């Protein structure tokens, strides 16, 4: 069983912001795999087949820095191995449109990933870092909580399409293959 987690903030005010690109990827994957979401007290989630594997798609409905609580809850409820959790999230250290996969590791300062690490007591899960870039000047918090501009939507759409393809590669051929296939591209 896979647990594919998109990180973001709940509510319409955040829906199309840079910080919610992890939610956007899971939404794109749910459309591709025809998985519908159900609301629980802690998350929006859906269960189905993702590229031939049983999977749960998860969008925690806590704010970003508390995401790990829902991940730990669903990990336990569905007996998911730590290495079968895939977390997708925004990364301001990558240029807009750049996608990078990682096998495991630290949080890189991302509070949502840090919360997952703390709640499941492990760093050993794959991640999909979705590049949102950095502001040229101004506050990083204002930047990540702002919507994508009209000029950025093409790069966003392309990155989300490649993100779904990277999950397909990861599921079918493993994290090393997916990293080799997607980390060097755009």
Task: Enumerate the active-site residues.
Answer: 19
Conformation bin of residue 13: beta by default, left when phi > 0, alpha when psi is -120 to 50: alpha
Task: List residues bridging with 88 in a β-sheet.
Answer: 6, 128
Task: Measure CA 114 to chain center.
Answer: 13
Task: State the residue for tokens 């591209």.
Answer: 185
Residue 52 phi/psi, 5-degree rounding, is 90, 0
The alpha-helical segments, DSSP class H, found in the chain are: 21-33, 67-77, 111-120, 140-144, 153-173, 175-182
Nearest to 144 by CA among 160, 156, 133, 155: 133
């Amino acid at each position: 069983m896979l647990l594919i987690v998109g990180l973001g903030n709940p509510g319409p005010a955040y829906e199309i912001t840079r910080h919610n690109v992890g939610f956007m990827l899971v939404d794109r994957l749910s459309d591709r795999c025809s998985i519908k979401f159900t609301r629980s007290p802690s998350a929006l989630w859906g269960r189905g087949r993702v590229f031939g594997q049983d999977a749960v798609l998860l969008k925690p409905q806590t704010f970003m820095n508390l995401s790990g609580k829902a991940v730990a809850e669903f990990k336990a409820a569905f007996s998911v191995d730590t290495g079968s959790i895939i977390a997708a999230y925004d990364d301001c250290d990558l240029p807009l449109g750049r996608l990078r996969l990682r096998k495991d590791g630290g949080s890189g300062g991302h509070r949502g990933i840090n919360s997952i690490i703390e709640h499941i007591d492990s760093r050993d899960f794959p991640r999909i870092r979705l590049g949102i870039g950095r502001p040229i000047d101004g506050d990083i918090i204002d930047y990540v909580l702002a919507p994508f501009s009209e000029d950025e939507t093409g790069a966003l759409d392309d990155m989300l399409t490649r993100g779904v393809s990277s999950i397909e590669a990861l599921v079918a051929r493993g994290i090393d293959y997916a990293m080799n296939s997607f980390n060097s591209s755009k």
